[in-house]
Amino acid sequence: MTEALMGTYAVFYREMLIFKYKLMRLGYVFYSVSTPILYLLAFGLGFGSRVQIPDYGAFLIQGIVCMSSMTNSFNMVSVSVGMGRLHSGEFQTVLTSPVKASAIMRGLVLSGVVRGLFASTMILLAGLFVFHVFPFTFVAFVALVLNTAFFSAAGVIIGVVIDDMENHAVLTNFIIMPMAFFSGTFYPVDFLPHWLQKLVWLLPLSHANKLIRAGELNAETLPSFILLLGLTAVCFTAGTFMLNRYNE
């Protein structure tokens, strides 16, 4: 292993150990997926047949998978970095070690991706159980990885810039939650008024939803894919830059 790889592994392994201990705590799994599964059941069984969307069960599963991958990745990474910096001081230990910023970034993003994919898997399984469908393709998987990578990288940035964990709650309530509700999670974006649709297409989650629902790369979905890829690269670079310039 090269030194950079060791650094990435150190950061990733630490997050995974903490994740493992969380999973071992009875009730954590239930707690972490209870809200999305509640959405799935309430919306799916409630509107199900009444909504003018074909295969609403599958539609909903895809939307909630996408939403949960975002919230899980973003929260895990931003809370880990934010709390590690502001409360426990564990993150300073990483920062004063000889590990390159890009290696730290990779470790954090990778752990966020795993957390996001884990949540998504739980929901896909719940969907399979309740609606007997598994609306997920390889392209959807790639899109999901991109989505989790993007929101993990964004999580690092937020974790580094906030100066109080209260700011984190504010950001979650004013950016992440609205994005979760307006980006086509529960109904297609074109149900929204025209002016709002324009805004919604500026949100990365809308594009992730579009890709996951389409399940294939074509002329219509390729721009979304490229956009998501570009945004991930930008966030990754910005996060690395900020770790490099870190100054208390």
Partner 1 sequence: MLLEVMNIRKTYGKVVAVEDVSFSIGRGEVFGLLGENGAGKTTTIKMLSTLATPDSGRILLNGRDIRKYRRETRKSIAVVSQDMNLGYELSVFEVLYIYALLRGIRNSKKLIDETIAKMGMTEKRNSKVGTLSGGQKRRVMAARAMLSGAELIFMDEPTIGLDPAVRREMWDIIRQMQADGRSILLTTHYTDEAEYLCGRVAIMEKGRIVSMDTPQSLIDCAGAFAVDINSRTLLFRDNDAADDYIAKESLTGHRVRRTKLDDVLVSSIGRAV
Residue numbers at the binding site for partner 1 (CB under 8 A): 1, 3, 6-7, 9-11, 13-14, 17-18, 21-22, 84, 88-90, 92-100, 246-248
Report the nearest approach of partner 1 to the CB of residue 90 (Å): 5
Nearest residue (CB) to partner 1, 49 versus 247: 247
Give the separation between CA 2 and CA 53, rounded to whole angstroms. Answer: 51
Nearest residue (CB) to partner 1, 35 versus 93: 93
Report the nearest approach of partner 1 to the CB of residue 104 (Å): 9
Nearest residue (CB) to partner 1, 94 versus 235: 94
Q: Return all residues near 236 (Cβ < 8 A) that are at least 6 apart.
A: 105, 109, 149, 153
Nearest residue (CB) to partner 1, 92 versus 237: 92
| Local structure of 51: helix, strand or coil | coil
- C-beta separation of 183 from 213 below 8 A: no
Nearest residue (CB) to partner 1, 14 versus 238: 14
Report the nearest approach of partner 1 to the CB of residue 91 (Å): 9
Count of helices and strands (H, E) across the chain = 11, 0
Nearest residue (CB) to partner 1, 93 versus 237: 93
Report the nearest approach of partner 1 to the CB of residue 50 (Å): 46
Report the nearest approach of partner 1 to the CB of residue 88 (Å): 5
Nearest residue (CB) to partner 1, 5 versus 45: 5
Joined together, the tokens standing for residue 217 give: 């790369």
Task: Report how far apart the first and last C-alpha atoms of the chain are (Å, whole number).
Answer: 31
Report the nearest approach of partner 1 to the CB of residue 93 (Å): 6
Q: Return all residues near 150 (Cβ < 8 A) that are at least 6 apart.
A: 204, 208, 228, 231, 232, 235
Report the nearest approach of partner 1 to the CB of residue 105 (Å): 14
Q: Return all residues near 135 (Cβ < 8 A) that are at least 6 apart.
A: 55, 58, 59, 61, 62, 127, 215
Other CB atoms within 10 Å distance of the CB of residue 4? 14
Among 145, 185, 159, CA closest to 77 = 159
- DSSP code at position 52: S
Query: DSSP letters along 176-225, please?
Result: IHHHHHHSSSSS-GGGS-HHHHHHHTTSHHHHHHHHHHH-S--TTTHHHH
